[in-house]
Amino acid sequence: MRAISSMATRHLLGDLFTAASAAGLPPVDLTSVGGVDAAARVADGEPFDLVILADDALHRLAADGRVAADTVTPLVLSQVAAAIPAEGEGPAARAEGSAFPDTAGFRAALRAADRIGYSTGPSGTALIRMIEAWALRDELGPRLVQARPGVPVATLLARGEVAIGLQQLSELVGQPGIRILGVLPEDSAIDTVFSGAVATAAADPVGAAALLAFLASAEAAPVKAAHSFAAP
């Protein structure tokens, strides 16, 4: 059984597929790459059984006939958080609550930072749209540093290449050399739903559907919470 996902869900899926195998479901060979690259590989016809990506990307693949539209299933909700460098600290712990009191505080933090790290994929796209809506693209644009596909924003922070970093909370938790400030405030939250679907090129569509059902089941919920994902 072959599955492909973005980097944002790789650790979660590794544990979920281990649990699924223990429950008697087929073992999974998981490939995790940047979300843009994953969608491109599926769009190019590379054979996978399961595809787990941001919901909007999956629906585009469904429209192109690359995944079965009637199998698209929301699995988890991922929130974007803010973090700063913290040299010498161990694995970053989740911070409860918001990183900033409101959008004004978030905007002020970005304007005060000399370098701002952000990711590829839907969360990065949403951040750029927000900055443009604030009419700050000209001011902040030269200071924006986009991590390469597959490179965590935490890496940029730990290396001191950026002063503040924004990425999905699940990608920041457990990374060394950073301190998580919290998720973005409610009035400027960036939330991404990750969904799964059976690929139309699946060698075992029945087995893939069974795995997808497990990923969406109540049995999988504790694993999702342990990885800092919420219910969709």
Report which of 111, 102, 119 is spatially closest to residue 188, judged by C-alpha positions: 102
2-76+193-226 and 77-188, same CATH topology: yes
DSSP state of 173: T
CB-CB contact of 58 with 209 (8 Å): no
Mean pLDDT confidence for 48-64: 96
Ordered by start, the domain boundaries in the chain are 2-76+193-226, 77-188
Report the pLDDT value the prediction gives residue 149, as an integer from 0 to 100. Answer: 76
Task: Specify the CATH superfamily of domain 77-188.
Answer: Periplasmic binding protein-like II (3.40.190.10)
Mean pLDDT confidence for 156-172: 94
Report which of 140, 145, 143, 155 is spatially closest to residue 85, judged by C-alpha positions: 155
Whether 200 has a pLDDT exceeding 80, the answer reads: yes
DSSP state of 176: T
Report the pLDDT value the prediction gives residue 228, as an integer from 0 to 100. Answer: 87
Task: Specify the CATH superfamily of domain 2-76+193-226.
Answer: Periplasmic binding protein-like II (3.40.190.10)
Q: How confident is the model at residue 88 (pLDDT cuts 50, 70, 90)?
A: confident
Backbone angles phi, psi at 187, to 5 degrees: -80, 0
Q: 3-state secondary structure string, 46-72?
A: CCCCEEEEEHHHHHHHHHCCCECHHHC
Q: Which residue has the tokens 């400027």?
A: 188
Mean pLDDT confidence for 101-109: 97
